[in-house]
Amino acid sequence: MQKIMIIEDDKAVREELSLLLENEGYHPIPVTAFHNITQQSAREMPDLILLDLGLPEQNGLSLCADLRRSSPKTTVDSSEYYGLKLHPAKGTATANGHTTELKRNVLPYA
């Protein structure tokens, strides 16, 4: 089962994304503690990370760079993922024109 880490400080959005992903057959990993996120990612080894850039007490762009450095085989999507469309039959997720492969690990895009 594909693991998708959700780094979102808005509880309602985080829970809705978790439910959506679970209903589509993915294993959501919602982050609720926003310290040591890089270590959490290394421990969980998700296939995809959905990252809210506007996190409290952290620079989202720096965190994105840290996550990409520490987990080079994990795709980090820092786009606004409202409107995320999952395509389980194709093994992809699309958000704001970005398509992410979910059937295999891919190198993060710059």
> For residue 93, is pLDDT > 70?
no
Query: Which residue segments constitute the domains of the chain, with CATH numbers given?
Result: 3-101 (3.40.50.2300)
Assign 78 a pLDDT band (cuts: 50, 70, 90): low
Residue 110 to residue 87: CA distance in whole angstroms: 23
Average confidence score pLDDT of the chain: 76
Q: What is the mean pLDDT of residues 34-45?
A: 90
- This prediction has a pTM of 0.71
Q: Residue 47, class by beta-carbon neighbours within 10 Å (0-12 exposed, 13-18 middle, 19+ buried)?
A: buried
**How does residue 67 score in pLDDT terms, banded at 50, 70 and 90?**
confident
Whether the CB-CB separation of 100 and 77 falls below 8 Å is answered with yes
Give percent of the chain above pLDDT 70: 70
